[in-house]
Amino acid sequence: MQANQTQPSRVRRTINDLVLAEMFLVQATIESATAIGEGFGALGREMTEGSESGTSPWDSISSVVRRTADEAVEPYASRFHYLRELIISED
């Protein structure tokens, strides 16, 4: 009898964790898409206007691409870390 009572709570918790993970995924995707869009804008400006600092164009373009990649990945990494801590704290 007790096993039947714990099963629904486990299923409910699993579904709640899944819904929370999906919400985090949607939020991270929106933030990542924004970062990528801004990165394309910065890359376009860099290619058309160039860098005034006297560095090579490749270095400045490479810097923009690296920064954009970091900004696009960060929302997923931070939300995954938060979700893992939340799940672990519930145990």
For 52, which DSSP code?
Answer: S
What does the pLDDT look like over 21-62, one tens digit per residue?
A: 999 999 999 999 999 999 999 998 888 876 666 667 778 888
What percent of the chain lies above the pLDDT cut of 70? Answer: 84
Beta-strand ranges (E) seen in the chain are: none
For Cα atoms 83, 85, 86, give the angle at the middle one, nearest 5 degrees: 65
- Please check the confidence at residue 8 and state whether its pLDDT lies above 80: no
Q: Is the pTM of this model over 0.75?
A: no
